[in-house]
Amino acid sequence: MSLIAGSYEKFIWGFKLKPLKHEPSSQNLTLTPLFSYQSHLAHITAAAASGPAAASGSADDTIHLYDLPSASSLGSLHQHTSSVTAVTFFTPPSLSFPRNLLSASADGSVCIFDTDPFVHLKTVLVHKKAVNDLSVHPSGKLALTVGRDECLAMLNLVRGRRSFYCRLGKEASLVKFDLGGERFFMVTEEKVGVHEAEDAKLVTEFECQKRVLSAAPGENGLLFTGGEDRNITAWDVNSGKVAYCIDDAHSARVKGIVVLMRNDNTVDDPYLLASASSDGVIRVWDLRMSMKEKPNPLAEANTKSRLTCLAGSSLNLKRSQMGASCLKEAPDAAEGE
């Protein structure tokens, strides 16, 4: 598994999760540094990873691209004219590398890119104010966004246009599809709503102790949340009750959670989870231990920076056909129809 984390100090951090060399058969793991450097001119706001590719967005209006197997930079994209607020990849189950990159910004727009090579296809104005979060359906045909205009929107990615827009009456900070795409989650302050994807009907709602800053869907109907309570909580989305919790997982706010995923969007190891905190610490957990007692992290790395986001790719990275040579023209690529 590879992890990337962004920080307020404009640095991007890359790590590879590996077994300890002297204990290859044990459960002890180590986070080996891949790279760390100042990749942006302003603080990093969002990160995404899929297969061999990773991306980071920043308040400097740019998206930077990375090749994880070679731990190298692939250039940058400059289509946005305001702060990038969210980035995400879409990877079809049949491919080991992403097909599309979607990004959102503070001016309410969403950019859609092809990833082989990285070519700008279209920009869609979705919200009247900044987009807070973006989630792509597992089919790749649609995406959901929430914004500071207190609205939920749906994007038709086949036609490249907004197909649905409704007022929520309150601002949602996060939106996430579950692994099967049958439901989605919306976070508002400390509350999390579970909705049917077909008609947005509210199924259940649960309330965390404090404001939720990060969330990630897991297998078997679980949703993992973290935030100002410094805990990592696993929720049963069917009952709206806590399945288990890692109390005091970090000494500061939890800013990112990643569940280990394979390239086919299924859980490779449903018991492995990574988290990042604003105190600069990244930890990897065995969730089986948290069901019984407070666990110790399997691996830990301290970046000594104020982390803002975390993203992860699968354990077994397959080298794709995307090369740096394909990306040289990406910043100047023509806009699609």
- List CB contacts of 199: < 8 A, sequence separation 6 or more: none
Q: Cα separation of 33 and 311, whole Å?
A: 15
54 and 48 Cβ atoms separated by less than 8 Å = yes
CB neighbourhood size of 244 (10 A): 16
Give the model's confidence band at 220: pLDDT under 50 very low, under 70 low, under 90 confident, else very high.
confident
Q: What is the pLDDT of residues 280-290, one digit of tens each?
A: 999 999 887 77
Q: pLDDT, tens digit, for every residue of 4-63?
A: 999 999 999 999 988 776 554 456 789 999 999 999 999 999 999 999 999 999 999 999
CB 116 within 8 Å of CB 326: yes
User: What's the predicted TM-score (pTM) here?
Assistant: 0.89
Taking the CB of residue 216, how many other CB atoms lie within 10 A of it? Answer: 23
- Please list the alpha-helical segments (H only) found in the chain: 287-290
> Is the pLDDT confidence value at 221 over 50?
yes
Q: Tens of pLDDT along 146-204? A: 999 999 999 999 999 999 999 999 999 999 999 999 999 999 999 999 999 998 999 99
User: Which pLDDT value is given to residue 105?
Assistant: 97
Q: Are 259 and 242 in contact (CB under 8 A)?
A: no
pLDDT single digits (tens) 78-108: 999 999 999 999 999 888 889 999 999 999 9
